[in-house]
Amino acid sequence: MSPAASQKVATAAGGPQAVDLTRVRPYGDALDDGAVMLSFSLPVPFGPEAQEAGRALCRQMGLREPQVYHAHDLGAGFTYLTLYAKCPHTIDFTKISVPSLAVAKLDRKGIDDLWARHFERRLRVLGACTGDDAHTVGIDAILNLKGYHGDKGLEAYRAFEVFNLGAQVRNEVLLGRVRELGADVVLVSQIVTQKDCHRTNLAELIDLAEAEGLRERVLFVCGGPRLSHPLALELGFDAGFGPGTQPSEVAAWIVQELVERYA
């Protein structure tokens, strides 16, 4: 067990309180009270029966003392509920391990200098929103010169030659451009997630890339509000970035990863 994992004291609301990291549960008003809040919709008419149905579901989840905090009629026989309850379960925090991106934080000059020391050409980066996804704000923030929150996009770097393919790009079309341009990196943004369509679309892209012999020589990266590095690895990508990612984070990872692999 690491020193951090074995720590038994944490600072909580109201000052330092003893916390057993091998038995962690949610808290609301007081440490270890198990308080949780849930919100969901039910396909039942609004009324007291709908509220009791919500409480019954919470009890079936193993939650105790469920209380309906808010309920309103969504129309057409649907009800929206917000409930408070108490969770009796605990987790052993010391046994949790999550894959993370090993990347040193670098500014734009540091990234360009690292690239210049190891590469004789600019790295070709292709980005797109694929499938039916038409929400380009995320990929534009990473790639375009303007960037995001004062952090310039990849177009601002000497290290990269950037191709932003835009929205609703079919996976086959994207891979065709990868071959045509000799891309080093593919960035895919997925905002739309209904019925897990982002998972299906991303997994299909990797399957096609493997079938066409492109997977091993190209870095595949995905990003979006419901994406993370562990999920990206599960889907066959090299890396995944979640909400709030800065362009410089992506740029630093790309150059460092390619240096480690090829330079």
Q: d(Cα 29, Cα 20) in Å, to the nearest integer?
A: 18
- Show the tokens assigned to 57: 């579901």
- Show the tokens assigned to 4: 């951090």
Token look-up 């997977």 returns: 215
Q: d(Cα 242, Cα 9) in Å, to the nearest integer?
A: 30
> Residues 32, 25: contact at Cβ < 8 Å?
yes
58 conformational bin, left if phi > 0, alpha if psi -120 to 50, beta if neither: alpha
Characterize 134-160 residue by residue with b for buried, 16 or more Cβ atoms within 10 angstroms of its Cβ, and e for exposed. Answer: ebbebbbbbbbeebbeebbbbbbbebb
Active-site residue numbers?
Answer: 146
Token look-up 């409930």 returns: 83
Q: d(Cα 60, Cα 49) in Å, to the nearest integer?
A: 16
Q: d(Cα 170, Cα 162) in Å, to the nearest integer?
A: 19
From the centroid of its chain, how far is CA 220? Answer: 15
